[in-house]
Amino acid sequence: DAMVIQNPRYQVTQFGKPVTLSCSQTLNHNVMYWYQQKSSQAPKLLFHYYDKDFNNEADTPDNFQSRRPNTSFCFLDIRSPGLGDAAMYLCATSNRVGETQYFGPGTRLLVL
Amino acid sequence: GESVGLHLPTLSVQEGDNSIINCAYSNSASDYFIWYKQESGKGPQFIIDIRSNMDKRQGQRVTVLLNKTVKHLSLQIAATQPGDSAVYFCAENRNTGFQKLVFGTGTRLLVSP
């Protein structure tokens, strides 16, 4: 089945230690998104790639970066995680911006 | 931040009842709306969508109603089951030069046996 895969499902890191979360898709969608979701809140868009074009949200901290080496993979890099970055990180894809987004299962990040 | 508002944070129903989850949106330029279901520890799951040229759309046990006059969206779940217990988010595609999916604050649906 076509799907969005996120690894790992749970990630523990130390305060200030860089961490990378990964997302892959078999849907062959053009757009890949990264969201941050904190407990009992709606997902908050961090940025997205339309093909190779990177689109950052205005309020996304510089601490968050992303890479998309090819159509299938997209990475979220947190350069210096703080305690406030502990959250669920969701990857989503869509064929075009403005169309239905399909989400992966998420990676729950814990910062010690 | 930006958000689509929901009136009720928690909705409790009995198994077999019909559930109605409401959502208000503020942007008249929004042209596409989606309902997602999110179970604990999982990613949001697409349920049903509707475009702004429609008033109603039906799926399996779910119906979405769109009232553009009052900027209101609802999700109706027929014969609610315990497996329907989750947080439900509405999302609108704001088409204001750059398209962006904006999520509402979410409603928790609790279904009692």
Closest by alpha carbon to B97, among A3, A38, A55, A17? A55
Residue B81: the pLDDT is 96
DSSP for chain B reads: ---BB-S-SEEEEETTS-EEEEEE---TT--EEEEEEE-TTS--EEEEEEETT-SEEE-SSEEEEEETTTTEEEEEESS--GGG-EEEEEEEEEEESEEEEEEB--EEEEEE-
Q: Which stretches of chain B drop beneath a pLDDT of 50?
A: 1-3, 5-7
Closest CA–CA distance from residue B97 to any residue of chain A (Å)? 11
Residue B7: the pLDDT is 47
A98 to B105: CB separation less than 8 angstroms, yes or no: no
Instruction: Provide, as residue numbers in chain B, all residues whose Cβ is less than 8 Å from the Cβ of A103.
Output: 36, 43-45
Residue B108: the pLDDT is 95
pLDDT digits (tens, 9 = 90+) for A34-70: 999 998 899 999 999 999 999 999 999 999 999 999 9
- Residue B99 in contact with residue A98, Cβ under 8 Å? yes
B34 to A43: CB separation less than 8 angstroms, yes or no: no
The mean of the pLDDT values for chain A is 94
Residue A45: the pLDDT is 93
Q: What is the DSSP letter of A97?
A: T
A45 to B34: CB separation less than 8 angstroms, yes or no: no
Residue A101: the pLDDT is 94
Residue B1: the pLDDT is 37
Residue B96: the pLDDT is 63
Q: In a 3-state reduction of DSSP, which class is residue A84?
A: helix
B89 to A42: CB separation less than 8 angstroms, yes or no: yes
* Cα gap A22→A6, rounded to integer Å: 6
Q: Which amino acid is at B5?
A: G
A22 close to B (CB below 8 A): no
Confidence of residue A2 (pLDDT cuts 50, 70, 90): low
Token pair 């999302």 in the structure block, residue: B91
- Residue B104 in contact with residue B88, Cβ under 8 Å? no
A106 to B42: CB separation less than 8 angstroms, yes or no: yes
Token pair 């439900």 in the structure block, residue: B88
**Mean per-residue pLDDT for A3-31?**
96
